[in-house]
Structure 1
Amino acid sequence: MSALSEEKLDSTAARQPAYPDYRIISLIVGCAIFLEQMDGTVLATALPTMARDFSVTAPAMSVAVTSYLLALAILIPVSGAIADRFGTKRVFNSSMVVFIIGSILCSLTHSLSAMVAARLLQGAGGAMMAPVGRLVILRTVERRHLVSSMMWTLIPAVLGTMAGPPLGGFIVQYLDWRWIFYINLPIGVLGFWLVRRYIPIIHNTGQPAPFDWLGFMLCSVGLGCLLFGMESFGENTDPRNAFLLVTVGAAACVAYVRHARQHTHPAVDLTLLRIDSFRLSVISGSLMRITTGAQPFLLPLLLQIGLGFSALRSGQLILAISVGALLARVLMTRLLRGIGFRRVMVYNGVMAALSYAVCAFFRADWPFWLMFGLLVCCGITMSVQFTAYNTIAYEAVPTERMSAANSFYSTLQQLMLSIGVCSGALILKIAMAVSHNVEPSRLNFSAAFLIVALVSLSSTYWHRAFAHDAGHELSGHRHRTGDH
Structure 2
Amino acid sequence: MNTETSAPSSRLLLWLVAIGFFMQTLDATIVNTALPAMARSLGKSPLRMQAVVVSYALAMATVIPATGWLADRFGTRRVFMLAIVLFALGSGACAMSRTLTELTASRILQGTGGAMLLPVGRLTVLRAFPREKFLEAMSFVAIPGLIGPLVGPTLGGWLVQYASWHWIFLINLPVAAVGLWTTLRFMPDFRGSDLTRFDLSGYVMLVVAMLAISIALDGVGSLGLQHAVVVALLMMGLAALAAYWLHALRTPAPLFPPSLFKIQTFRVGLLGNLFARIGSGAMPYMIPLLMQLAMGYSPSHAGMLMLPMALAGMGMKRVVTRIVVRLGYRRVLVFNTLALGLMIASFALMTPSQPLWLRILQLAAFGAVNSMQFTAMNTVTLKDLGPGHASSGNSLMSMVQMLGMSLGVSVAAALLSTFSGWFGAVDAGPQAVSVFRGALVTIGVLTMTSAAIFWQLADDSHRVPERADTADPGQAS
Q: Return the alpha-carbon distance in structure 2 between the equivalents of residues 50 and 199 of structure 1.
A: 37
- Alpha-carbon shift at residue 423 of structure 1 (Å): 0.2
Give the number of aligned pairs: 461
Q: Is structure 2 residue 445 aligned with structure 1 residue 454?
A: yes
Superposed CA deviations along residues 18-76 of structure 1, whole A, max 9, x for unmatched, are 799x9998886554332122212221111111111111111221111111122122222
Q: 2:110 aligns with which of 110, 122, 132?
A: 122
Shift of the 310–122 alpha-carbon distance from structure 1 to 2, 3 Å rule, reads same
Q: Which residue of 2 aligns with 1:228?
A: 215
Alpha-carbon displacement from aligned partner over 1:276-321 (angstroms, at most 9, x marks no partner) = 2211211111122101221122111111111221111111112222
Secondary structure of 1:360's partner?
A: helix
- Of the three residues 133, 146, 154, the one matched with 1:158 is 146
Go from structure 1 to structure 2 and tell me whether the alpha carbon gap of 1:282 and 1:202 turns closer, same or farther (over 3 Å shift).
farther
Q: Conserved in 2, the CA contact under 8 Å of 1:341 and 1:475?
A: no
Shift of 1:149: 8.0
Give the alignment partner of residue 256 of structure 1, picking from 244, 255, 258: 244
Residue of 435, 446, 449 corresponding to 1:444: 435
AA paired with 1:104?
G
Q: TM-score scaled to structure 2, two decimals?
A: 0.86
Letter in 2 for 1:456: T
1:212 partnered with 2:199? yes
Task: Provide the rounded CA distance (Å) in 2 between the counterparts of 1:111 and 1:170.
Answer: 23
CA contact (8 A) 2:71 2:191 kept: no
> Which residue of structure 2 lines up, in the alignment, with residue 33 of structure 1?
21
User: Offset at 1:260?
Assistant: 1.6
Alignment map for 1:46-57 (pairs within 5 Å): 46-57=34-45
Other-structure match for 2:98: 110
Cα–Cα, structure 1 residues 100 and 241, in superposed 2: closer, same or farther, change >3 Å? same
Provide, for residues 365-411 of structure 1, a one-character-per-residue CA deviation record: whole Å limited to 9, x for no partner: 11112111211122222122212333332222222333222221111
**1:158–1:325: 8 Å Cα contact kept in structure 2?**
no
Q: d(CA) in 2 for partners of 1:339 and 1:144?
A: 32
The answer to which of 332-341 and 395-404 deviates more is 332-341
TM-aligned CA deviation for residue 364 of structure 1: 0.8
Q: CA RMSD in A?
A: 3.2
1:450–1:240: structure 2 CA closer, same or farther, 3 Å change rule? same
TM-score scaled by length of structure 1:
0.85
Alpha-carbon shift at residue 181 of structure 1 (Å)? 0.2
Which string of whole-angstrom CA distances, capped at 9 and with x for unpartnered residues, describes residues 89-120 of structure 1? 65345323321221111111111111111111
Distance 2:77 2:464 in 1: 29
Is the 8 Å Cα contact of residues 45 and 314 (structure 1) preserved in structure 2? yes
> Helix, strand or coil: the match of 2:382?
coil
**Equivalent AA in structure 2 for residue 418 of structure 1:** S
The equivalent residue for 1:317 is 305
- 8 Å CA contact retained: 2:72, 2:190: no
How far did 1:150 drift?
7.5
How far apart in 2 are the matches of 1:375 and 1:141? Answer: 41
Q: Residue type of the partner of 1:447?
A: G
Q: What residue in structure 2 maps to residue 373 of structure 1?
A: 361
List per-residue Cα deviations over 1:349-370 (Å, max 9, x = no partner): 3333322222121111111121
Using the alignment, how far apart are the partners of 1:23 and 1:363 within structure 2? Answer: 49
Change beyond 3 A, Cα 1:72–1:406: same
Q: Match for residue 234 of structure 2?
A: 246
Structure 2 equivalent of residue 4 of structure 1: none
- What's the CA shift for 1:125? 0.9
Distance (whole Å) between structure 1 residues aligned to residue 437 and residue 266 of structure 2: 33
Work out the CA distance in 2 between the residues paired with 1:74 and 1:83. 16
Matched residue of 1:393: which SS?
helix
Deviation at 1:445, TM superposition (A): 0.7
1:463 aligned onto 2:460 = no
Alpha carbons 1:131, 1:406 under 8 Å: kept: no
| Structure 2 residue matching 1:293: 3-state secondary structure | helix
Determine the C-alpha separation between the residues in 2 that align with 1:320 and 1:403.
Answer: 34
Matching residue of 2:475: none
Assess, with a 3 A threshold, how the Cα gap between structure 1 residues 29 and 338 changes in structure 2: closer, same or farther: farther
Match of 2:334 in 1: 346
Q: CA deviation at 1:133?
A: 4.5
Q: In 2, are the aligned partners of 1:46 and 1:169 still within 8 Å (CA)?
A: yes
2:361 maps to amino acid:
G
Query: Contact between 2:125 and 2:134, CA under 8 Å: does it hold in 1?
Result: no
- Does the 8 Å CA contact 1:150/1:387 hold for their aligned counterparts? no
**What's the offset of the Cα at 1:158?**
2.4
The equivalent position to 2:345 in structure 1, one of 347, 352, 357, is: 357
- The DSSP-based 3-state class of the residue aligned with 2:31 is helix
In 2, the alpha carbon distance for the partners of 1:465 and 1:415 equals: 22
Instruction: Measure the CA separation in 2 of the matches of 1:353 and 1:287.
Output: 12
Deviation at 1:132, TM superposition (A): 3.8
2:111 alignment partner, SS class: helix
Where 1:234 maps in the other structure, the secondary structure is helix
What is the match of residue 78 of structure 1?
Answer: 66
Deviations 1:159-208 (A, max 9, x none): 1112112211111111111000011223334555676788766674x522
Structure 2, unmatched stretches of 5+, are 470-477
C-alpha distance in 1, partners of 2:383/2:14?
A: 18
Deviation at 1:475, TM superposition (A): 5.3
The 1:74/1:44 distance shift into structure 2, 3 A limit, reads: same
In structure 2, how many angstroms separate the alpha carbons of the residues matched to 1:53 and 1:436?
23
Paired-residue identity, %? 33
Greater displacement, 59-68 / 326-335: 326-335
Deviation at 1:272, TM superposition (A): 1.1
Within a 5 Å distance, the mapping from 1:118-197 to structure 2 comes to: 118-133=106-121, 154-189=142-177
Please state how far the C-alpha of 1:226 moved relative to its aligned partner. 1.5
In structure 1, the gaps of 5 or more residues are: 1-10, 477-484
